[in-house]
Structure 1
Amino acid sequence: MSSDQIDRELAWLGRLWQWRLAEHFEAAPSAEPTDAPPPEPLPALLAALPAPLHGRDARALLWLAMAPWLQPALLDMLFARRSDTGRGFTEFGGLAHGEHGAFAPTGETACFLLGGMEGEQRLQAWRLLHTLTALDQGAWLQLGAAPEGQAALCGAWRPGPQLLRQLLGPLAEPVQAAPSASLAHPLRTGLGWSDLVLPPMTLAQLEEIVLWRTHRQQLLVDWGLGRRLKPGYAALFHGPPGTGKTLSAALLGQRCARPVMRVDLAALVSKYIGETEKNLAQLFDEAERQDWILFFDEADALFGKRSQVSDAHDRYANQEISYLLQRVEEFPGVVLLASNLKGNIDDAFQRRFQSVVAFALPRPAERLRLWREALPAALTPAPDVDLPALAQRHEIAGGTIMNAVRVACLRAAQRADGLLRAADLDEGVRRELVKEGRSL
């Protein structure tokens, strides 16, 4: 979306506020502000926003939420104070600020903008707020929790992560809250979707996750499937190490334009009774607020089979798994689990996965592509390097290929001759096979 379009929308919001304040203080007839029509939206704006945000009132509330981010001074007019008491105007809403803080709108601010002090119009505005905050589980607009003892409209009126991402792009990432107590960490990659070397069936299953993330609002709300389907999507990635499970999770985040958070199981699981459930609640609550994709690597440690109860320890361990199962079912976003062995995952979880994605060892043609893409362009393969033969001879995963290439590149750097030699690649493969308990 262009900056010109954003400037036009915010200028319209400013005119709308001027009309509302004039109507409020000058007791003018409560009529449509014909001197402040909304600008004609550009196609880019309509394409970026879901249909419920295209209407005049919804657009006004959208830009009200974004104003503190884009033009903080635009709402300074709402800092006005009563001449008789010196206090601010309660009907304007807004949160308390320091001396130099920008005006932060609340639900009350939004209702006053649309309805002034007229009862029926305020009710309509309140209904619209409810509709917009429910849109895609608060991904676009949010009404924060009100301070204790105050009405719900006293909560902050703010943009959701999807709206921030659409309008701010990469600038929106720093404003995402950090995971509570370091329970999860961002999973990133410098590769792209085209770098995935996987069988067509596996790629199709990954595409299904992207499709669900893109169209879940249509499925669950517009088509009414939310009455019969769980709100989220859980998928199990299983297969040998190095076959692309973690890379696929990171690239799904790229495709869905959402942060993928890798859960730190060491920080999550506690030996103290009740602490693991507390950490899980904290993690899933934060993930829902921030619209994260959660990735549980080596998921066997947490999602493993429940044991027969022989003592209190077994009982509490099973209780933790049951609570985890409940949170996964209730989570409205995407949960990805990775395991080397599908059979290690508790049956109760397997029945609830929307997809189970197998990551098999690559076939010869896929291994050849992996070898070719792994070699750095800065090095020249020696005449004795036969990549098709390597790909045919060694049934190994992509991660293993990369480790073998690393060994060969280190040797080339030591020689400083710019050549990648077959003997070095063979030595790299030999070392990896020994690590796996295999031999050439």
Structure 2
Amino acid sequence: MIGDVTNKQLPVNVFSLLLAHLKTLIEARLEILLEKKNDVQPPDLSIPKGYIPLDLFFENYNPDFQEVTTLSLALAPHIQTDFFDNILKEHFPDGNQFPAFGGVRGKNHRGILPTGETAQFIIAGNDLAKRIAVQSLFGPEHWFATDSILRLETVPTGEPVMSGRLILDPEWLERIITGTVSLPRFSPSFPAEQLQNALEWEDLVLPQSTLKQVRELLTWIEHREAIQGHEALQKHLKPGYRVLFHGPPGTGKTLTASLLGKAAQRPVFRVDLSMVVSKYIGETEKNLANLFDKAANKDWILFFDEADALFGKRTEIRDARDKFANQESAFLLQKVESFPGLVILASNFKNNMDEAFARRFQSIVYFPSPDAEHRLLLWQSIIPKQLKLDKGIDLKKIADTYGFSGSNIVNIVHYCSLQVLSDGSKMLGADLLTEGIRREYRKEERLS
């Protein structure tokens, strides 16, 4: 995997040379066929050196002539919109079509977009054996596919497969052109948002047994490649790591997931299940496939909060809906098992999870309600240091008396802080804190 790079060099000259070399290659092929010359190999397509994203790409994949040519064809219209039209106009000034060249027009783009047939024509001409070899570039085992770099657009039934457009993955396109990749934004096509917070690992208040299991996840992230690449282990291990966080609400499951990513320097995406699950048959699987395909080959952590909605126990089949619901669960199980990264499922109740999922977790981490000792630590860490406490406030007594979770305490402190700011004071009075506690109890219907 090529990491994001910062490249101060403007790529204009590099891409100008790339397009010039590609044009020379295309014109050589056209001259061979149109003038009926001997079908000699057109000149090699060389890539200029000195532009960091391309240099890293070639160092990582070491592409051959066919692969370089196909990638350059897919990249060309993103750099110069009329690139292919200008070349063909030189040879067909009257606008005569040349089907052997391939290419299609887009819905918005008015220029020629290259297809698999374009790659076959430029690389192989009329050589059938070479044309078939070009087709193999788009097989599922080629690195174009395994690393989600380049693919052929699916064509209508009955049309030649190679007539599909060459589609360069948007992230790879951005990486090659700018040297960086933007993280995806929350949208229907990517129903997940990045978890971020200003807290640090030291702010996490959990029992030592829970912290120990959480640190094991950091160990896996750090040594993942070594473990999964170990000759003796890889044949027994499935890709990725699956863990279940379970426990009462407000005990730190989401916070722990975000801090894991922060400590490991990995983005954490919380999946919005309301946008994934659909009442329409087949749509849930489609949404899940899009999500996992987007996250494939990334160092991302996927976090499914309230995962019972998708990973809950499968039911007996009483009607068609039960049948398709179980199919959704099976499909999800398949996607989770094949995902090479860390997948965290969070649930308030472990028993709600389907046993088929539970057996496949490498780790199950329990987040208990905090005891008095941990509640005191939470009160002390959450109350802002700038806030002076009334002498009548005994945090230890409050921690012993009220069985709040971390999220409850955050809500109480938030309310009290707003009131203090509103009054223009820096003192948190005992009466105000008592009122904040009563409000939180009322909200949870513990107190009338």
More displaced stretch, 17-26 vs 201-210: 201-210
> Aligned letter for 2:143?
L
**Residues 68 and 104, structure 1, Cα contact 8 Å, conserved in 2:** yes
Counterpart selection for 2:388 from 376, 381, 393:
381
CA 1:78 to 1:106, structure 2 compared with 1: closer, same or farther past 3 Å? farther
1:134-186 Cα distance to aligned partner (Å, 9 max, x none):
323x2x33322123322222222223355256455465636x8733xxxx733
Secondary structure in structure 1 of the residue aligned to 2:135: helix
> Aligned letter for 1:26?
E
**Residues 230 and 329, structure 1, Cα contact 8 Å, conserved in 2:** no
Counterpart selection for 1:95 from 86, 99, 104:
104
1:204 aligns with 2:215: yes
Partners in 2 of 1:438 and 1:223 — Cα distance?
56
Q: CA deviation at 1:37?
A: 2.8
Q: CA deviation at 1:367?
A: 5.7
> Aligned letter for 1:356?
I
CA 1:70 to 1:236, structure 2 compared with 1: closer, same or farther past 3 Å? farther
Aligned to 2:416: 408
> Aligned letter for 1:185?
P
**Residues 194 and 267, structure 2, Cα contact 8 Å, conserved in 1:** no
Equivalences, count: 418
Partners in 1 of 2:145 and 2:109 — Cα distance?
33
1:244-269 Cα distance to aligned partner (Å, 9 max, x none):
3334556677854475431117x836
Map 1:228-267; keep pairs closer than 5 Å: 234-249=242-257, 255-257=265-267, 260-264=270-274
1:160 aligns with 2:169: yes
Aligned to 2:355: 347
Partners in 2 of 1:261 and 1:224 — Cα distance?
34
1:127 aligns with 2:136: yes
Secondary structure in structure 1 of the residue aligned to 2:272: strand
CA 1:306 to 1:257, structure 2 compared with 1: closer, same or farther past 3 Å? closer
1:189-228 Cα distance to aligned partner (Å, 9 max, x none):
341683572553343354367569x759x948x9698876
More displaced stretch, 106-115 vs 406-415: 106-115
Aligned to 1:86: 95
Q: CA deviation at 1:296?
A: 3.9
**Residues 105 and 111, structure 2, Cα contact 8 Å, conserved in 1:** no
1:306-349 Cα distance to aligned partner (Å, 9 max, x none):
4567xx35x85366235412432245436543211112212122
Q: CA deviation at 1:297?
A: 2.9
Counterpart selection for 2:283 from 270, 279, 284:
279
More displaced stretch, 86-95 vs 368-377: 368-377
Aligned to 1:11: 16
More displaced stretch, 392-401 vs 147-156: 392-401
Partners in 2 of 1:328 and 1:110 — Cα distance?
38
Partners in 2 of 1:54 and 1:419 — Cα distance?
67
CA 1:245 to 1:258, structure 2 compared with 1: closer, same or farther past 3 Å? closer
Secondary structure in structure 2 of the residue aligned to 1:264: helix
Partners in 2 of 1:40 and 1:350 — Cα distance?
50
Judging by fraction of residues, say which structure has more helix: 1
**Residues 232 and 329, structure 1, Cα contact 8 Å, conserved in 2:** no
1:359 aligns with 2:364: no
Larger-gyration structure (1/2):
2
> Aligned letter for 1:237?
F
1:291 aligns with 2:302: no
Aligned to 1:39: 48
> Aligned letter for 1:239?
G
Partners in 1 of 2:390 and 2:154 — Cα distance?
67
**Residues 22 and 72, structure 2, Cα contact 8 Å, conserved in 1:** no
Q: CA deviation at 1:427?
A: 3.8
Q: CA deviation at 1:109?
A: 3.1
1:189 aligns with 2:200: no
CA 1:81 to 1:300, structure 2 compared with 1: closer, same or farther past 3 Å? same
Partners in 1 of 2:255 and 2:194 — Cα distance?
8
- CA root-mean-square deviation: 4.5
**Residues 46 and 54, structure 1, Cα contact 8 Å, conserved in 2:** no
Secondary structure in structure 2 of the residue aligned to 1:142: strand
Partners in 1 of 2:31 and 2:112 — Cα distance?
23
Counterpart selection for 2:277 from 259, 263, 268:
268
> Aligned letter for 1:285?
A
1:398 aligns with 2:410: no
CA 1:50 to 1:83, structure 2 compared with 1: closer, same or farther past 3 Å? closer
Partners in 2 of 1:371 and 1:422 — Cα distance?
14
Partners in 2 of 1:398 and 1:405 — Cα distance?
11
Aligned to 1:107: 116
> Could you tell me the TM-score, scaled by structure 2's length?
0.72
1:374-410 Cα distance to aligned partner (Å, 9 max, x none):
4568x54346497974896465433222212211122
Q: CA deviation at 1:429?
A: 3.9
**Residues 416 and 433, structure 2, Cα contact 8 Å, conserved in 1:** yes
> Could you tell me the TM-score, scaled by structure 1's length?
0.74
Partners in 2 of 1:286 and 1:428 — Cα distance?
44
Partners in 2 of 1:390 and 1:71 — Cα distance?
71
1:25 aligns with 2:41: no
> Aligned letter for 2:43?
P
